[in-house]
Structure 1
Amino acid sequence: MSKFDVQEMKGVIPALMTVFAEDETIDESGMRELVDHLINKGVNGLYLTGSTGEGFLMSMEERKKVVEIVIDEADNRVPIMVHVGTIGTKNSIKLAEHAYEKGADAVSSVPPFYWNFDEEHIYNYYKDIAEATPLPMIVYNIKLAGTIAYDSIKKLAAIENVKGIKYTATSHFEIASIKDELGEDFLVYSGADEMASSGLFNGADGLIGSFYNLMPELFMDIYEAVNNNDLKTARIKQQNAVRIIKYSVQYDFYSLMRLALGWLGVNAGYSRRPFKNYGAEKEAEFKAEFKKLKDKYKIEGIDFLDAI
């Protein structure tokens, strides 16, 4: 059973990468190592089997296995939110039921995609999953899977177990409006790493994103700076985050992050095809370019840069 109340699920929450071995099987020891590394760094929760976790590249059973490994390794140290999104409601319910049985604290899902699902389809999808377990449901607004209209967000919020939204967008005035209209108890998570400070300034309760696997300390500094109204520090830290992200997304950045975590002694494994994995020559190039960024902008306090 879950151990954390949904209102405790705030702060910096990495969208956890799934650690694969070179043969693309799940690397359990690497998975445990990454979980332990992030929790020891002070993150406020973990978001499993989403896009960053390559959830759509895994079978149902593999996704369940990852949930079981992470919940066991986390051992109630931080809240666990499980992404259960699939195109079909039936499979999403099965994943939600499994997450509940294994002790997750919340579930989340992208809207159903590929077919041109309308507002009613999306509403029923979330309603059916939310009613399948007692766990709080965090809906997900992301352009890749399908942007949920603002009025639809308000309708979804009326479903009893829908307790918040992961809002991945590069405009954030809607976050302030959601908090105004739906109240402080309706949680909003900013999902664009390069816009973390903006999301927080507009009222987001927490941050869920990919690069928190690699440099959680930077985003924890941003979170603290915004909460302390230290706008100068938040701006400088966010600018450094953007510089690193802008360089990284030229490549298969999940694979780049895996290499960079290795510089910290963390086994983050491999990505699944069709994502690329990079060899020693490319890794040396990454190190050189990150060192240039660090020196040019005098970036301090980011562990993976300091490890180069």
Structure 2
Amino acid sequence: MEKFYGIYPALITPFNEQGKINEKALQQLVKLNLDKGVSGFYVGGSTGESFLLSVEERKAILEIVSHEARGKAKIIAHIGSIATDHAIELARHAADLKVDAVSSVPPFYYKFSLAEIKSYYLDIVNDVNLPMIIYNIPALSGVTFTSQNISDLLTDSRVIGVKWTSYDLFQMQRMLSENPNLTIFNGHDEVFLGSLAMGAKAAIGSTFNFMAEKFIHIQNLYEAQKLEEARILQDEVNQIINVLIRIGVFQGVKAGLEMMGIPCGDCRKPFRKLNLEEIKLLQQVLNL
């Protein structure tokens, strides 16, 4: 199977004034990033407010992105849910749309055992003939994956990658070293360059929505062994990320896209709106 490589925006979900999916804005966002040369899209993940959407809304978003990007970039559908049946329903829909892979957070909230979490992933891949990318995001899921505790999943040929949203790059490197056929997708944009040094070849990120070109350039610089230039550019994006962390990453990404002419609306409640001071701070760091 062809390995995944490069930059994959974790797409936001634009909303209109009525709080419904803004299809035109989502189409604009996909085209913007295709023109920048992204490798693909991660659809319906945390950045897309997936757990604030209905199952039908999640399906509709994937249909819009698939229509715009199929044949032009890879599409990874996040189908994660607490309920296995809901995840399988979304995975079947993704298979109907012929996406390139599915991905899922582990089922959370109820503190499922590791055996139950493994069964969740196996139930999905046994039902749907699509590659699976496991989503390691311990800060939000409460589950920490290592190459030891999910070794049996990592050796399953249907599990082709891990989205690594953790600052523990040591564990990421060990997982990759022990499973060289695995694709590791860095998930923290602020340590992208460090993840490349540890062996990652791909990344899925929130800030890629509006500055994917910077990360494409970082990867190109790294591969050309222009490490100081790559470090300087990583510092530039980290100045922006530092502001996003202060004001709210998802709200800030949407606000940044608004400044670029793509109407994204607000994040769904209980996310709060940015105030004028926060918007001005973002404008300053983005030079918009």
Say whether the 8 Å CA contact 2:147–2:154 is kept in structure 1. Answer: no
Out of 136, 139, 150, the residue aligned to residue 134 of structure 2 is 139
Q: Deviations over 1:275-298 (max 9, x none)?
A: 12336565334324x2xxxxxxxx
Structure 1 residues 146-168: Cα deviation after superposition (integer angstroms, max 9, x where no partner) = 21233123221122311111111
Q: How does 1:263-278 map to 2 (within 5 A)?
A: 263-278=259-274
Q: 2:113 aligns with which of 110, 113, 118?
A: 118
Measure the CA separation in 1 of the matches of 2:239 and 2:283.
Answer: 15
1:154 pairs, out of 151, 154, 170, with 151
* 3-state secondary structure, aligned to 2:263: coil
Does residue 66 of structure 1 match 2:31?
Answer: no
After TM superposition, list the pairs within 5 Å mapping 1:78-97 onto structure 2.
78-97=73-92
Q: Which AA in structure 1 matches 2:165? A: T
Counterpart among 220, 223, 239 of residue 219 in structure 2: 223
Tell me how far apart the structure 2 counterparts of residues 43 and 57 of structure 1 sit (CA, whole Å).
26
Deviations 1:30-75 (A, max 9, x none): 1111111111111111001010010000010000000001100113
Aligned residues of 2:243 and 2:281 also touching (Cα < 8 A): no
Task: Give the 3-state SS of the residue equivalent to 1:131 in structure 2.
Answer: helix
Q: Tell me which of 91, 95, 103 is aligned to 2:98.
A: 103
Aligned pair count reads 286
Q: Could you state the TM-score of these two structures normalised by the residue count of structure 2?
A: 0.94
Distance 1:6 1:267, change over 3 A: farther
Partner of 2:44: 49
TM-score (norm: length of structure 1): 0.89
Residues 243 and 282 of structure 2 are in contact (CA less than 8 Å); yes or no, is this contact kept in structure 1? no
Q: Alpha-carbon deviation of 1:250? A: 1.0
Which stretch of structure 1 is more off in the superposition, 90-99 or 230-239?
230-239
Moved more, 276-285 or 219-228: 276-285
Match of 1:197 in 2: 193
**Alignment-mate amino acid for residue 29 of structure 1:** K
Unaligned runs of 5+ in 1: 291-304
Shift of 1:211: 0.6
Segment of structure 1 superposing worse, 169-178 or 208-217: 169-178
Runs of 4+ in 1 over 3 A off after TM superposition: 278-282
Is 1:166 matched up with 2:160? Answer: no
Which structure 2 segments of 5+ residues have no match?
none
The match for 1:16 among 1, 6, 11 is 11
In 1, are the aligned partners of 2:27 and 2:65 still within 8 Å (CA)? yes
CA shift in 2, pair 1:282/1:165, >3 Å: closer
**Residue identity matched to 1:180:** S
- Note if 1:254 corresponds to 2:240: no
Instruction: Give the CA deviation at 1:103.
Output: 1.7
1:225 to 1:107, Cα distance in 2 relative to 1, 3 A: same
1: distance between equivalents of 2:135 and 2:249? 22
1:30–1:267 contact (8 Å) kept in structure 2: yes
Which deviations, in whole Å up to 9, do the C-alpha atoms of 1:124-163 show, x marking residues without a partner?
1111111211110000111111212331232211223111
SS of corresponding position for 1:208: strand
Letter in 2 for 1:157: L
One-letter amino acid of the counterpart of residue 175, structure 1: M
Whole-Å separation in 1 of the counterparts to 2:86 and 2:70 = 26
Residue 40 (structure 1) aligned with residue 42 (structure 2): no
Q: Over the residues paired in the alignment, what is the CA RMSD in angstroms?
A: 1.5
Distance in 1 between residues matched to 2:87 and 2:224, nearest whole Å: 39
SS in 2 for 1:262: helix
Measured after TM superposition, the shift of residue 22 of structure 1 is 2.2
Cα distance in 1, alignment partners of residues 49 and 94 from structure 2? 17
Kept after mapping to 2: 8 A contact 1:137/1:164: yes
Q: Is the partner of 1:225 in helix, strand or coil?
A: helix
